[in-house]
Amino acid sequence: MKRIIIVGAGASGLTLAIKLSDKNKVTLLEKNSDIGKKLLLTGSGRCNYYNEDMDKFHFYTDSNVSLDDFISENKKALDFYNDLGIIPSIKNGYYYPFSNTSTSVVNSIKRVLLQKKVNLITNYEVKKIENINDEFIVNDELKSDVLVLATGGLSYPKTGSTGDGYRFLKDFNLNIINTIPSLISLKSDCPFQKKWSGIRLNAKLSLYEEDALSKEEKGEVLLTDYGISGICTFNISSIASRGLSKGKKEEVIINFVDFLNIESKADFITYLDNRDKEYDLNKVYELFDGFINYKLVNVLLGKYKDKKWSKLKREEKDIIASLFYELKLPILGTSGIEKAQVTSGGLDLNEVDLNTFEVKKVKNLYVIGELLDINGDCGGYNLTMCTLSAIKVGESIDKN
Ligand SMILES: Cc1cc2nc3c(=O)[nH]c(=O)nc-3n(C[C@H](O)[C@H](O)[C@H](O)COP(=O)(O)OP(=O)(O)OC[C@H]3O[C@@H](n4cnc5c(N)ncnc54)[C@H](O)[C@@H]3O)c2cc1C
């Protein structure tokens, strides 16, 4: 029976404690007074733990390794939640607990921790880790044969993830890939943003890096006084944030009328011409009534608002069509790591065996969860990654 210390009782540490406790002596250390503080916040309190669409393009790393084999085992993460007794409610492929609350996930985990008699020590902050004669010594007092770091990233530091793990990894001389915010709002420089704040709508966002299209997302966008937010923005933010950190030019083109399935801006002008005739409209703003939020129409149209569409010159129609069909937002930055849902970057994946997540240079030291240089889109991909990395460690330790 191995003595195993897991540092951090978040999604990944909790999964591993459950997986290993049948055959090993597991001690789970958590600096908060309770477990799973971040897990409770997930999915706006509903915990989106898995997704039907597990395409590899939903996952990111800067470590120059292939994640294909790892991602191909994603079903094991779903099995974990099924084994907890969580019944899923599946909306557009997104898995939530049927109870619609993350509390039921955390409560189920607590129940299993108790059933399996995991030695959970809360209010315990790990400050020092040593590895002497094949033994790990934590805070000069706790000893183990195996040590697992599951301390999370840097985002939402009030949940306990304050980047302690990076310090421990550096002490072991391991390479950390630049940590940057991901799944985060984007700050832009757009003349309309002070006035459009608070408008929520469906749109298509196209992210251009150095003038080349790098990602497109369709869905809910929140317009804010500093730029753009919402799920759609979050899902392009990983690439934008990485690019910005390398000094690259990032721009977003918003198409507010994508749902019309119009192929080009010229066709959109023709569509507006026809709409003008069909409904015998008088003012330009009336053209957009019925399919665009009136507040946005007012903000974007400005001086054109009360003009007659049929009387406008082609160049003026072109300007108006651009505002709705291809509004350009130069991206200045993100809202910062503290507000990000996840941290991109982390332990360089070349430092671990990707099949076991054991650190190559330090026998019996394992790293799981967000501390690794893997992150995913919104949609359950990050919890899947955290759960699956823990399961892989569990399998490896059980095998030996
Ligand atoms: C608002 C929000 C919503 C999200 N929604 C979703 C979602 O719906 N679906 C999804 O897939 N992902 C979501 N995520 C991302 C997901 O929650 C995280 O990626 C995941 O929880 C990270 O798990 P982890 O175990 O790696 O780290 P964490 O959950 O951060 O846990 C790390 C734990 O380690 C403890 N710790 C740290 N340092 C020490 C130390 N020195 N000593 C002792 N303990 C320590 C911390 O207190 C913490 O409890 C969301 C994130 C946020 C912030």
- Residue 142: both structure tokens together: 């706790």
The parent domain of residue 351 ranges over 3-181+341-399
Q: Could you tell me where the beta strands, DSSP code E, fall in 211-326?
A: 212-223, 227-229, 250-255
Indicate whether 147 and 244 sit together in one domain: no
Ligand 1 within 6 A of 343 CB? no
Confidence of residue 289 (pLDDT cuts 50, 70, 90): confident
Q: Note the pLDDT tens digit of each residue in 369-396.
A: 999 999 999 999 999 999 999 999 999 9
Indicate whether 197 and 325 sit together in one domain: yes
CB atoms within 10 A of CB 211: 7
Compute the distance from residue 176 Cα to the ligand 1 centre, in Å. 18
How would you label 134-171 residue by residue, b for 16+ Cβ within 10 Å and e otherwise? eebbbeeebebbbbbbbbbbbbbeebbbbbbbbebbee
Compute the distance from residue 42 Cα to the ligand 1 centre, in Å. 9
Confidence of residue 102 (pLDDT cuts 50, 70, 90): very high
Single out the residue in 316, 335, 354 at which a domain terminates. 335
Coarse DSSP helix, strand, coil percentages of the chain, rounded to the nearest 5 percent = 40, 25, 35
Indicate whether 31 and 171 sit together in one domain: yes
Indicate whether 173 and 29 sit together in one domain: yes
The pick from 12, 30, 42 for probing ligand 1's pocket by mutation, whose C-beta has the most ligand atoms within 8 angstroms, reads 42
pTM over the 0.75 mark: yes
Measured between alpha carbons, how far is 252 from 330 in angstroms, rounded to an integer? 6
Indicate whether 112 and 228 sit together in one domain: no
Measured between alpha carbons, how far is 55 from 71 in angstroms, rounded to an integer? 8
Measured between alpha carbons, how far is 222 from 99 in angstroms, rounded to an integer? 27
Q: Note the pLDDT tens digit of each residue in 41-78.
A: 999 999 999 999 999 999 999 999 999 999 999 999 99
Q: Note the pLDDT tens digit of each residue in 228-259.
A: 999 999 999 999 999 999 999 999 999 999 99
Ligand 1 within 6 A of 151 CB? yes
Q: How many domains in the chain?
A: 2
What percentage of the chain exceeds 90 in pLDDT?
98
Task: Please give the order of strands across the beta sheet that includes 94-97.
Answer: 50-51, 94-97, 88-91
Instruction: Find, among 329, 400, 396, 377, the residue nearest to 19 by Cα.
Output: 396
Indicate whether 153 and 293 sit together in one domain: no
Confidence of residue 400 (pLDDT cuts 50, 70, 90): confident
Q: What is the pLDDT of residue 290?
A: 86
The pick from 382, 385, 392 for probing ligand 1's pocket by mutation, whose C-beta has the most ligand atoms within 8 angstroms, reads 382
Contact 329, 251 (CB under 8 A): yes
The pick from 151, 170, 387, 389 for probing ligand 1's pocket by mutation, whose C-beta has the most ligand atoms within 8 angstroms, reads 151
Q: Note the pLDDT tens digit of each residue in 335-347.
A: 999 999 999 999 9
Task: List the CATH number of the domain containing 174.
Answer: 3.50.50.60
Indicate whether 43 and 165 sit together in one domain: yes
Ligand 1 within 6 A of 388 CB? no
Mean pLDDT, residues 286-302: 94
Indicate whether 198 and 328 sit together in one domain: yes
Compute the distance from residue 132 Cα to the ligand 1 centre, in Å. 29
Ligand 1 within 6 A of 37 CB? yes
Indicate whether 292 and 360 sit together in one domain: no
Q: Note the pLDDT tens digit of each residue in 355-368.
A: 999 999 999 999 99
Single out the residue in 335, 353, 376 at which a domain terminates. 335
Compute the distance from residue 15 Cα to the ligand 1 centre, in Å. 12
Mean pLDDT for the chain overall? 97
Q: What is the pLDDT of residue 155?
A: 96
Indicate whether 202 and 275 sit together in one domain: yes
Measured between alpha carbons, how far is 365 from 362 in angstroms, rounded to an integer? 6
Indicate whether 177 and 90 sit together in one domain: yes
- Residue 297: both structure tokens together: 């129409």
Q: What is the pLDDT of residue 178?
A: 94
Residue with token string 């923005």? 233
Indicate whether 267 and 234 sit together in one domain: yes
Single out the residue in 335, 354, 369 at which a domain terminates. 335
Total residue length of the chain: 400
